[in-house]
Structure 1
Amino acid sequence: MAFGDLKTEKGVKALNDYLADRSYIEGYEPSQADVTTFQALGKAPAGSFAHALRWYNHIKSFGSETSKFPGASAAAPAAASKPAPADDDDDIDLFGSDDEEDEAAEKIKQERLKAYNDKKSKKPALVAKSSIVLDVKPWDDETNMEDLEKSVRTITCEGLIWGQSKLVPLAYGIKKLQIGCVIEDDKVSVDWLTEEIQNFEDLVQSVDIAAFNKI
């Protein structure tokens, strides 16, 4: 029975497939054909070739008794021995190209994946912001609104940008400061901001949110 070169994975696979529904190389009992193939194999097949490994261990268990197997002792099957090169075409590995193609495809895949991850890591994350308009009310009409606004704008921190402001009449000559700002939601709390403004107790009576919009 010809299996090809049993020193190669292809040859072992052919042997494994052959033994899928057979116990021996020839017939229903061990023979010199088993001995010849066993010797050509040289070592136990990998566990992935279950049928060939079963057969190998079975023949190996006979030890020196294999010399008593029926049949003529012979060299390894002709097809199992490595053929002498006939011409340059015989040196071409027709079965190795698949592995090389798989390796090339995997390399391209990994390069594309790396390029995608690099591009994704450089993309700026979306920052959640809010636009707020605050109504800052003084105690009375004698409050210096210029000083009040200057005090409010002294409140600074990362993620806070003050915008335009104006004075809006309330009643009895009293005006409130209406001032806008933009905050980064993860860095600035609205509650914190209003509390900071109200800390100017001599100038500020109260702080209300006139408008609040997500950007």
Structure 2
Amino acid sequence: MAFDHFVAICHPLRYPTILTNSVIGKIGLACLLRSLGVVLPTPLLLRHYQYCHGNALSHAFCLHQDVLRLSCTDARINSIYGLCVVIATLGVDSIFILLSYVLILNTVLGIASQEEQLKALNTCVSHICVVLVFFVPVIGVSMVHRFGKHPSPIVHVFMADIYLLLPPVLNPIVYSVRTKQIHLGILCKFVLRRGF
């Protein structure tokens, strides 16, 4: 999405020639392969451990750190791998997103009209909000599991559920709130209620 916004703002006339269907397909395939490369080693590493604690997880889904707590063997390698994956994926993504927005900001500040500057920056606000809605819960759940050894189990469950549910719930809301038809629909509902 950051690359899409970068091309749309910095090279709007070349957008259809840069982001062709084959380029979009290659980007999608690269994302899929990266995800598989990051996630696939985890169950393979977990398979070699012995589990002597109770088999009840504290979350509604199988969280990597939660499974590691059930192991009675030294799970340091898997724990380090999980931390490296979080740092590498979030770090690399953050660097690319930051770089694209620095380039976008540089281009936008070169636009003469302030109205056009605001319009160009306005297209990026939704993407920045969605990125924050995804990154903040991921970082929060990772930090709670890494460093929060003494909080109540409810804190762990709550953070994991926020991580699992918040991004997909807020993603369509963030993108649809900025649509003019939805603005008018909401405005009409409030005006009609006040009229009665």
Interval of TM-score (by shorter of Structure 1 and Structure 2) = under 0.3
More relative contact order, 1 or 2 (CA 8 Å, 6+ apart): 2
Higher helix share: 2
TM-score, normalised to structure 1, is 0.21
TM-score, normalised to structure 2, is 0.23
